């Protein structure tokens, strides 16, 4: 029997402040409770030395096999820089209409771009990435509304521009999907 909860899995050391921010955002925006679990995955085997990045496709595949079946959706948080073979980097990715998503705050820090450190802004960005990927697991595709959290974001500016919420159209689609999932449970 699955719970009506979302599981947040941390792979590597994350500050409590970070996980709390993510969990609160998920609960506030999706209206779903979360559980937190640490994972002792050895990420070195996903490391690509030439690119000095972690292969997100393989991480997603591995986490999919490890995700506890009792949770509605599972979101894994990694500290490293993620890539997929065709792209130079990604902030996160998820299975469309699936159960698993992954996200990393690596490229969300101001310092990486020579800007002044802003931890609160980084947390805000990270929660947006997590919610965006969870949106995909509920079947939502990229939205054209610049303020919607489902807007495709490839740059920091895109992330900062959008709100930490779904636009009306995406909210309606999400509600339909949530009703389906909750009804099934």
Partner 1 sequence: MAQQVSILIVDDEESVRDSLYNWFIDDGYDVDCAEDGKAALNKLESRDFDIVLADIKMPGIDGMELHKRVKALSREPVFIIMTAFASVDTAVQALKNGAYDYVTKPFDPDDLSHLIRNAAKQVQLEAENLNLKESISSLADVEDIIGESEALQKVLKDVEHIAQSSSSVIITGESGTGKELIARAIHSNSSRRYFPLISVHCGALTESLLESELFGHERGAFTGASFTRKGRFEMADGGTIFLDEIATISPKMQVELLRVLETKSFMRVGGNKELSSDFRVICATNRDLKAMVQTGTFREDLYYRLNVLNIKVPPLRERKEDIPLLVNHFIGKYCKSMSREKIVIEPAAMRYLANLDFPGNVRELENMIERAIVVGNGREVRLRDLPLGKEAINSSVESLDELEKKHIVKILDKYHWNISRSARALGVDRATLYNKIRKYELKEE
The reply on whether position 144 binds partner 1 by CB under 8 A is yes
DSSP 81: P
Q: List the one residue from 5, 23, 128, 136 that touches partner 1 (CB under 8 A).
A: 136
Helix (H) / strand (E) containing 175: helix 168-184
The reply on whether position 31 binds partner 1 by CB under 8 A is no
State the distance between the two ends of the chain, measured CA to CA, in whole angstroms.
Answer: 7
- CA atoms of 75 and 72, how far apart (whole Å): 10
* Min dist. Cβ of residue 55 to partner 1 (A): 8
Q: List the one residue from 86, 117, 120, 184 that touches partner 1 (CB under 8 A).
A: 86
The answer to whether the CB of 127 falls within 8 A of the CB of 154 is no
Q: Where are the beta strands (DSSP E) in the chain?
A: 5-11, 33-39, 47-48, 53-55, 73-78, 82-84, 87-90, 92-94, 100-103
Check 133, 165, 172, 177 and give the catalytic one: 133
| Residue 47 phi, psi dihedral angles, 5° rounding | -80, 135
The reply on whether position 46 binds partner 1 by CB under 8 A is no
Q: Which region, judged by CB under 8 A, interacts with partner 1, from 28-36, 77-85, 116-124, 162-170?
A: 77-85
The reply on whether position 68 binds partner 1 by CB under 8 A is no
Our answer to whether residue 133 is catalytic in this structure is yes
The reply on whether position 47 binds partner 1 by CB under 8 A is no
- CA atoms of 135 and 149, how far apart (whole Å): 9
Q: Which region, judged by CB under 8 A, interacts with partner 1, from 8-16, 36-44, 108-116, 139-147?
A: 139-147
The reply on whether position 146 binds partner 1 by CB under 8 A is no
The reply on whether position 161 binds partner 1 by CB under 8 A is no
- CA atoms of 106 and 130, how far apart (whole Å): 13
* Min dist. Cβ of residue 144 to partner 1 (A): 8
Active site residues: 133
The residue ranges that bind partner 1 (CB under 8 A) are 57, 83-90, 93, 96, 136, 141-142, 144, 152, 154-155
């Amino acid at each position: 029997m699955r719970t009506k909860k979302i599981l947040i899995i941390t792979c590597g050391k994350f500050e409590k402040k970070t996980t709390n921010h993510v969990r609160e955002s998920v609960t506030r925006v999706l209206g779903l409770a979360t559980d937190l679990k640490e994972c002792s995955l050895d990420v070195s085997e996903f490391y690509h030395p030439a690119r000095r990045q972690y292969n997100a496709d393989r991480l997603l595949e591995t986490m999919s096999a490890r995700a506890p079946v009792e949770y509605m959706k599972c979101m894994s948080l990694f500290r490293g820089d993620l890539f997929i073979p065709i792209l130079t980097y990604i902030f996160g990715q998820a299975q469309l209409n699936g159960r698993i998503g992954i996200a990393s705050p690596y490229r969300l820090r101001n310092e990486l771009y020579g800007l002044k450190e802003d931890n609160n802004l980084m947390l805000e960005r990270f929660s947006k990435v997590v919610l965006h990927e969870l949106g995909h697991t509920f079947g939502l595709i990229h939205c054209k509304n610049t303020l919607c959290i489902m807007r495709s974001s490839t740059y920091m500016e895109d992330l900062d521009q959008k709100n930490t919420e779904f636009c009306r159209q995406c909210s309606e689609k999400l509600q339909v999907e949530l009703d389906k999932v909750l009804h099934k449970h």
